[in-house]
Amino acid sequence: MSYHRGGGHRRGGNYNRGGGGNRHGGGGGGGKRHTAGPVDETNPVVLQFREYARELDEKHDRYERIVKCSRDITIESKRIIFLLHTVDSKKNNQAQVCEEAKNRLHTLCRTHFATIAKELHGLDPYQFGRAYTAGMQEFIEAYTFYEYAHSQNISHWNGLQEKLRYKVPEPKKVTPPVPAAEKVEDEQPAETGEDPMETEDPPVEPSSPQKEIEITCLLSPMDFVLGVGDLSGEIMRKCINSLGSGDVESCFEHCRFMQELYKGFVSVGNPRNRDFNQKLFTLRQSLLKSENVCYNVKVRGGEAAKWGNTDTDGGASFGGMPKDNLDEDEGVFF
Amino acid sequence: MQNAVIKDIFDGFNDYLNKEQELREQIREVVREIDQAAKEATIALQVIHSSLTDVPAACQSARQQFEVCRKGYQRLAELIPEGQYYRYNDHWHFLTQRVVFLVALTVYLEKGFLVSRDTTAEVLGMKTKQSDGFHLDIEDYLMGVLQMASELSRYAINSVTLGDYERPLAISKFVADLNSGYRLLNLKNDGLRKRFDALKYDVKKIEEIVYDISIRGLRADAGAGQGAAAAQAAEQ
């Protein structure tokens, strides 16, 4: 079998393109030998495969639509993160920026995530998990970063999953769904007794008599944790930014928060996910940088750390103008 | 001070991972049993390459193994939580493809036609539609059928060796049908496409066998010289 695989892979491209032409009536290079002329529509095999083709196409189309949504979510999430970086203690704009970020996050929930939830309705969400995991992680990064900017803490994924649950009147009718939970301000920090398995319930099937169904965009805990891993990069940047703007005290708070995050990540055993260890490594790098910042502040005082720095590791990155780093997404510039 | 929320998040996450791990271990156990049965069936069906008369008996014993597979799949169906088929299906992905291959080969040897996805699912005690529960994934089915084509090209060679000159003609017709069937699919650039690309080598091999038979006048209805025989081969 490996022989076939290898051979087919190398020379397959042309063959398939030829086949593609054939499918639409033209004579393709490799295809001529067997299917000269149109397909025999009465052939039972052909009849069977028509059905399979329809099913495969439907699946691929759905996948592509979800990927498209996921891309849009990624873009908007990155913008929200950028916006949240403009919070500056001197300008005293925290409340205003957070308000805007919150609104934009809610719009995302109401639009793109609702679309994905609709696509997934009645299907196995894990089948298309790969299509939206990137967007989901970026969104989680933006969302937790908003929470962090707002209240210096993040909340449990159960709360976020609740926001991705929608009630829609009836399938096939196009009505903007309303998020089941609207509140953000007083986010309860984690329902402690809750079984985490509950968050991965399959989409609820249409059951209620008022012709109202509940659809869910599944938030997998793995995505959440990976998103939180990305968050660490943002906090590191925030830590360095606040040094640049002279808000020295908050550096220590950011650093402490990241230490907590790191502790959490280290406590995870056997994650069965390739990305996870990569995230852990990056998180460690970010943590070292912000610890270095704190160290410098402590020894030399806020002013000194801002300008003079000859340290090898993190020194270069926070010695320069921190604002320059804003357009970089991940905190991976070392 | 320990941050309570973060601790809670990661405790929950660890819990979630552990539960998943446990379930995966259970799945692995069942999959191993099905795998064993599939192996037995494979061994039984290897007889077709060395004997023409033992084929029905081989199909019979393969069918007994499918019964074992069926029970295994039913146990799997009970293990997998609703709507999480694709979360765990990497455990039985390849196995199912092989089982589909065996079922398709058996049905072809017995009846001479391509087993449909519905029938395969029925033999294995699975559903066809995702919404009905534990189902036979369409890509697994298509992969399994492609594996059968490779096996048939080998079967064609060996049946000539064993003196059956008619069989390669039937196989050639059958595989050509399969080929035109697969041409109807819009395949993405994934494993299925790559495996489909290999189908043409199987088709080619079988056609060469048909050609060899035709050109030597070994076909029962060999009526003409080389030109006509080649044309007939092309028709297949």
Q: How many CB atoms lie within 10 A of CB B156?
A: 26
- Which residues of chain B have a CB within 8 Å of the CB of A46? 177, 180-181, 184
CATH assignment of the domain containing A102: 1.20.58.190
Instruction: Test A22 with B117 for CB contact under 8 angstroms.
Output: no
Q: B interface mutation test: which of A1, A3, A4 has the most B CBs within 10 A?
A: A4
Instruction: Test B9 with A157 for CB contact under 8 angstroms.
Output: yes
Say which residue, A203 or A284, is predicted with more confidence: A284
Per-residue confidence (pLDDT) for residue A12, from 0 to 100: 37
Per-residue confidence (pLDDT) for residue B229, from 0 to 100: 46
Cα-Cα-Cα-Cα dihedral sign, residues A239, A240, A243, A247: negative
CA distance B118 to B136: 9
Instruction: Test B3 with A194 for CB contact under 8 angstroms.
Output: no
CA distance B234 to B236: 5
Q: Minimal Cα–Cα distance from B223 to chain A, Å? A: 23
CA distance A26 to A175: 43
Question: Which residue among A46, A126, A271 sits closest to B84, beta carbon to beta carbon?
Answer: A126
Q: CB within 8 A of A82, min separation 6: which ones?
A: A326, A327
In this structure, are strands A178-179 and A213-216 parallel, antiparallel, or unpaired?
Answer: unpaired
Lowest mean pLDDT of A147-161, A261-275, A317-331, name the range. A317-331
A175-186 pLDDT, tens digit each: 444 444 443 333
Question: Which residue among A59, A192, A197 sits closest to B8, beta carbon to beta carbon?
Answer: A192
- Which residues of chain B have a CB within 8 Å of the CB of A48? 114, 116-117, 181
Token pair recorded at residue B117: 């996805």
A72-103 pLDDT, tens digit each: 999 999 999 999 998 877 777 888 899 999 99
The DSSP result for chain B, as a single string, is ---HHHHHHHHHHHHHHHHHHHHHHHHHHHHHHHHHHHHHHHHHHGGGGT-STTHHHHHHHHHHHHHHHHHHHHHHHHHSPTT-HHHHGGGTHHHHHHHHHHHHHHHHHHHSSPPPHHHHHHHTT-BSSGGGSSB--HHHHHHHHHHHHHHHHHHHHHHHHTT--SHHHHHHHHHHHHHHHHHTS---SSHHHHHHHTHHHHHHHHHHHHHHHHHTT-STT--S-HHHHHHHHHH-
A53: confidence class by pLDDT, cuts 50, 70, 90: very high
- Which residues of chain A have a CB within 8 Å of the CB of B196? 8, 16
* Residue numbers of the domain that contains A100: 52-171+212-219
CA distance A324 to A332: 14
- Identify the helix (H) or strand (E) that includes residue A167: strand A165-168
A193: confidence class by pLDDT, cuts 50, 70, 90: very low
- Please determine, for residue A190, whether its predicted confidence score (pLDDT) is greater than 70: no
Q: Minimal Cα–Cα distance from B58 to chain A, Å? A: 23
Chain A residue closest in CA terms to B24: A272
Angle between helices A221-244 and A129-151 (to 10 degrees): 40
Instruction: Test A56 with B3 for CB contact under 8 angstroms.
Output: no
A129-181 pLDDT, tens digit each: 889 999 999 999 999 999 998 888 888 888 888 888 888 776 544 444 444 44
- Which residues of chain B have a CB within 8 Å of the CB of A155? 5
- Tell me if residue A144 falls in helix, strand or coil: helix
Instruction: Test B150 with A4 for CB contact under 8 angstroms.
Output: yes
Q: Minimal Cα–Cα distance from A10 to chain B, Å? A: 9
Say which residue, A197 or A277, is predicted with more confidence: A277
Per-residue confidence (pLDDT) for residue B137, from 0 to 100: 92
CA distance A305 to A300: 6
Q: Do A127 and A237 fall within a single domain?
A: no
Question: Which residue among B10, B180, B201 sits closest to A35, beta carbon to beta carbon?
Answer: B180
Instruction: Test B198 with A8 for CB contact under 8 angstroms.
Output: yes
Residue A199 within a domain: no
Residue A145 within a domain: yes
- Please determine, for residue A32, whether its predicted confidence score (pLDDT) is greater than 50: no
Segments of chain B with pLDDT less than 70: 1-2, 220-236
- Which residues of chain A have a CB within 8 Å of the CB of B10? 225, 264-265, 267-268
Q: Which of residues 89-108 of B touch A (CB under 8 A)?
A: none
Q: Minimal Cα–Cα distance from A168 to chain B, Å? A: 20
Per-residue confidence (pLDDT) for residue A6, from 0 to 100: 38
A310: confidence class by pLDDT, cuts 50, 70, 90: very low
Q: Which residues pair with B135 in a beta bridge?
A: B127
CA distance A304 to A297: 7
Residue A320 within a domain: no
DSSP state of A92: T
- Which residues of chain B have a CB within 8 Å of the CB of A33? 203, 207, 234
CA distance A52 to A14: 23
Q: How many residues does chain A have?
A: 334
Instruction: Test B188 with A60 for CB contact under 8 angstroms.
Output: yes
- Please determine, for residue A301, whether its predicted confidence score (pLDDT) is greater than 50: yes
Instruction: Test A153 with B5 for CB contact under 8 angstroms.
Output: yes
**Residue A105 CA from chain centroid, whole number:** 13
Instruction: Test B187 with A155 for CB contact under 8 angstroms.
Output: no
What's at B204, amino acid-wise?
K
- Which residues of chain A have a CB within 8 Å of the CB of B178? 45
Residue A185 within a domain: no
Global pTM exceeds 0.90: no
- Residue burial A135-159, b: 16+ Cβ < 10 Å; e: rest: bbbbbbbbbbbbbbbbeebbbbbbb
Instruction: Test A52 with B178 for CB contact under 8 angstroms.
Output: no
A10-24 pLDDT, tens digit each: 433 333 433 333 334
Give the range with max mean pLDDT: A103-107, A294-298, A317-321.
A103-107
Which parts of B are annotated binding residues for Mg(2+)? Answer: 151
Residue A41 within a domain: no
Of residues B29, B89, B93, B101, the one with CA closest to residue B65: B101
Per-residue confidence (pLDDT) for residue A170, from 0 to 100: 64
Residue A97 within a domain: yes
B134-185 pLDDT, tens digit each: 999 999 999 999 999 999 999 999 999 999 999 999 999 999 999 999 999 9
CA distance B180 to A28: 13
Angle between helices A2-23 and B167-183 (to 10 degrees): 60
User: What is the domain count for chain A?
Assistant: 2
- ipTM, two decimals, is 0.84
Task: Report the share of chain A in percent with pLDDT over 70.
Answer: 66
What is the CATH number assigned to the segment(s) B1-219?
1.20.58.190
**Mean pLDDT within A253-272:** 88
CATH assignment of the domain containing A289: 1.20.58.200
Per-residue confidence (pLDDT) for residue B5, from 0 to 100: 84
- Which residues of chain A have a CB within 8 Å of the CB of B85? 124, 126-127
Per-residue confidence (pLDDT) for residue B25, from 0 to 100: 94
Residue A7 within a domain: no
Q: How many CB atoms lie within 10 A of CB B218?
A: 14
Residue A101 within a domain: yes
A328: confidence class by pLDDT, cuts 50, 70, 90: very low
- Max Cα-Cα span within chain B: 93
Q: Do A131 and A239 fall within a single domain?
A: no
Q: Do A60 and A123 fall within a single domain?
A: yes
